[in-house]
Chain A
């Protein structure tokens, strides 16, 4: 599985309340299967998947393709694992912030998860997609799309309604997140190139504060 034949290793992490479907979502994504049984995740886990990423140009023109190895962290939603799971936030470059469309409470908790992310991810504004899962259970729906969309807009992140049961939007959501991360990765490299040619001897790199300054405008 993890032979070195890929271009980029990208690490994503799924988070959200217990039972919103993080594990089944990831299982659907990696194995294209649905497991309706609820088995609570013990603290932390991860899955891997190899995908091909199409680098689309600014005008949507097809660009180069890359082989991407994905490491998909699955976290426990349960409170008692909180200290453990949040420690792994920093190991991911992108986040699948998930709530259950059939649970208003899980949606309300999105705000808490956001602040957890801001405190524990690699930076304060990492790449995130908001996911309303269990879209297939329309009769039990408690969160309407408008509400969720507004919240996502407030944070400036994309929002998708998915179903691990049917597979609806599952791949698309991960692709969008992957695209955000790839863009950031490329921009950051281009940016360092520019800044380094500008200030020649960038020995200021030794300064631990400096990375903070150029933070995430990239």
Chain B
């Protein structure tokens, strides 16, 4: 049963239409559910950000509800302590849990609901047994069936396959109900995610372009003949593609990611379900998550070759040529670089929040540093380190024997990165002045370790780090300039996270904070807060998870 195509041959046209409509309805429901989960995640995120601000103000929590911030009053509004996070809330913001004989605050309740709703275990099961969820499988078969009806014929090119697996749905959506492009995009992203590159009206155009590319692959591969080891060669072919297609994809992905931060991690679950060519190609499936831009091309090429290659392809992924490897390292370094800079590059948008956040940031420092100036020192050290890396990258770029187009792409990056180092240095002086301002204002902080240790809501950092991790996977200079406000907040938060890490402030997360992350594939982030990282020093900054799971 498994792995076979759905047999639609016995269905009449009318019946097929009916099935099609039902599957559409199911997709709508799935989409709504996904949006709901996104909303839940946002709620949790906001709440945890709020609490993060309160960690250092635990005396405040003694007199005020952590949830609604109302003051506690004897008898009228008495407080109770949440079993899970140990913060105090008023009874209106808590439920009494008879089973466990204790109070659970609304936030912890929402977190639990979200964890349960995300059905991670269920999706794990599905992933381990099948390629696609049921309606996706049927949708694909239906699409193939309809295509045959339109005499698209047997010539199943890569792009056709590609369409059938991913783009197809969007295309049909588009033509059928004329959804606006944002809608289409959403579908595109949620059900094909990384593959979805139709960003605007030019979607069809790009599909055609892709077909050309695919045809070219086909040609090259044929030229290379029946010689074994297609994976490595395929990869080479791909890297030498004209037009910097890889960079383009990077840009596109990063743009999308920067825009919809939260949607990103858990969507890839659908990616695993949908973003595949054919039954039985597990390898590509997995890889597509890690190396979206590469794998997409690869899988396309492999359709034409034929399905047999897919497995060896997966294995062959590690077998890059040395030039490829070098490029990879270069890219990674650049990504790290840009990322590091992004962390510092806080623009003045969302002034208030930024201010609030940096306050927390500084509080953290005043808690943990004898001398605030040390922070400046470290920031400066970071900047100089960035410079050094930049130099290295430049050297690498000169030495590497990549194609001209690739090189020019790299040079662009280096230039932007240099500009951003400059910016980072400016930031350092900015931070200096802020510290001066704060200390002159006589900011008093009473650090309370107790709250810090017990709260599962302690910091939004796991989210953020995961987000950042995704973000940096496709980081480009352009993405560094993004000024979306939510992005800014994340940047600040992640900066805080990075700094904490730098100073070995314990950030061990209790109770699997990340359970509600449906996307198990980005679990690499767990390494970031791995307790064995006790001796992480400044060099940890560069040990990005992107390296650990590639």
The interface residues of chain A lying within 8 Å CB-to-CB of B115 are 189
A185: interface (CB < 8 Å): yes
- CA–CA, A107 to B84, complex, Å? 48
- With A64-B95, A200-B532, A215-B125 given, is the CB distance from A206 to B523 under 8 Å? yes
Q: Are A196 and B515 in contact (CB under 8 A)?
A: yes
A123: interface (CB < 8 Å): yes
- Given B120, B126, B549, which contacts A203 in the complex, CB threshold below 8 Å? B549
- With A8-B116, A119-B1 given, is the CB distance from A211 to B124 under 8 Å? yes
B33: interface (CB < 8 Å): yes
Q: Are A205 and B116 in contact (CB under 8 A)?
A: no
- Given A6, A62, A192, which contacts B512 in the complex, CB threshold below 8 Å? A192
Minimum distance in angstroms from B5 CB to a CB of chain A: 8
- CA–CA, A63 to B28, complex, Å? 32
The interface residues of chain A lying within 8 Å CB-to-CB of B1 are 86, 116, 119-120
- Given A64, A91, A203, which contacts B524 in the complex, CB threshold below 8 Å? A203
The listed residue with most B CB atoms (<10 A of its CB), out of A6, A185, A201, is: A201
- Given B29, B97, B112, B121, which contacts A188 in the complex, CB threshold below 8 Å? B121
The interface residues of chain A lying within 8 Å CB-to-CB of B128 are 208-209, 211-212
B483: interface (CB < 8 Å): no
The interface residues of chain B lying within 8 Å CB-to-CB of A7 are 113, 117
- With A9-B33, A91-B134, A211-B124 given, is the CB distance from A205 to B523 under 8 Å? yes
A177: interface (CB < 8 Å): no
Residue of B nearest to A64 (CB): B95
- What number of A residues sit within 8 Å (CB to CB) of B? 60
A147: interface (CB < 8 Å): no
The interface residues of chain A lying within 8 Å CB-to-CB of B126 are 90, 122
Residue of B nearest to A186 (CB): B116
A176: interface (CB < 8 Å): no
- Given A9, A46, A208, which contacts B286 in the complex, CB threshold below 8 Å? A208
Interface residue stretch chosen among B15-23, B48-56, B158-166, B233-241 = B15-23
Interface residue stretch chosen among B6-14, B180-188, B208-216 = B6-14
Interface residue stretch chosen among A23-31, A37-45, A128-136, A149-157 = A37-45
- Given B7, B29, B122, which contacts A83 in the complex, CB threshold below 8 Å? B7
B108: interface (CB < 8 Å): no
The interface residues of chain B lying within 8 Å CB-to-CB of A63 are 97-99
- Given B6, B32, B125, B515, which contacts A193 in the complex, CB threshold below 8 Å? B515
Q: Are A206 and B549 in contact (CB under 8 A)?
A: yes
Q: Are B526 and A44 in contact (CB under 8 A)?
A: no
- CA–CA, A43 to B11, complex, Å? 9
Chain B contact residues, majority secondary structure: helix
Query: Which residues of chain B in 513-550 are interfacial with respect to chain A, using CB atoms and an 8 Å cutoff?
Result: 514-515, 520-521, 523-524, 526-527, 530-532, 548-549
- Given B19, B116, B282, which contacts A43 in the complex, CB threshold below 8 Å? B19
Q: Are B127 and A208 in contact (CB under 8 A)?
A: yes
**Binary per-residue interface labels of chain B (16-43) against chain A in the complex, 1 for a CB within 8 Å, 0 otherwise:** 0011001101101100110110010000
- Given A57, A87, A208, which contacts B99 in the complex, CB threshold below 8 Å? A57
Q: Are B2 and A2 in contact (CB under 8 A)?
A: no
Q: Are A122 and B524 in contact (CB under 8 A)?
A: no
Q: Are A89 and B134 in contact (CB under 8 A)?
A: yes
- With A57-B98, A119-B1 given, is the CB distance from A93 to B116 under 8 Å? no
Q: Are B25 and A46 in contact (CB under 8 A)?
A: yes
Q: Are B511 and A84 in contact (CB under 8 A)?
A: no
Minimum distance in angstroms from B288 CB to a CB of chain A: 13
Q: Are B137 and A87 in contact (CB under 8 A)?
A: yes
- With A91-B133, A206-B520 given, is the CB distance from A189 to B112 under 8 Å? yes
Query: Which residues of chain B in 120-149 are interfacial with respect to chain A, using CB atoms and an 8 Å cutoff?
Result: 120-122, 124-130, 133-135, 137-138
Query: Which residues of chain B in 64-109 are interfacial with respect to chain A, using CB atoms and an 8 Å cutoff?
Result: 95, 97-99
Q: Are A122 and B122 in contact (CB under 8 A)?
A: yes
The interface residues of chain B lying within 8 Å CB-to-CB of A6 are 36
Residue of A nearest to B142 (CB): A84
- CA–CA, A71 to B33, complex, Å? 11
**Binary per-residue interface labels of chain A (163-205) against chain B in the complex, 1 for a CB within 8 Å, 0 otherwise:** 0000000000000000000000110110111001100111101
- CA–CA, A119 to B510, complex, Å? 37
B356: interface (CB < 8 Å): no
Can you offer 27 A-B residue contacts whose CB atoms are under 8 A?
A2-B29, A9-B33, A42-B15, A42-B19, A57-B98, A61-B98, A63-B99, A71-B26, A84-B11, A87-B134, A88-B135, A90-B133, A123-B125, A185-B116, A188-B120, A188-B121, A189-B116, A189-B120, A189-B515, A200-B526, A200-B531, A203-B548, A205-B520, A208-B282, A209-B128, A212-B128, A215-B125
User: 9 more A-B contacts (CB under 8 A) besides A206-B521, A208-B128?
Assistant: A43-B11, A43-B19, A63-B99, A80-B10, A87-B138, A122-B122, A185-B116, A200-B530, A206-B524
Which A-B residue pairs are the 4 nearest by beta carbons?
A: A211-B124, A196-B512, A188-B121, A91-B134
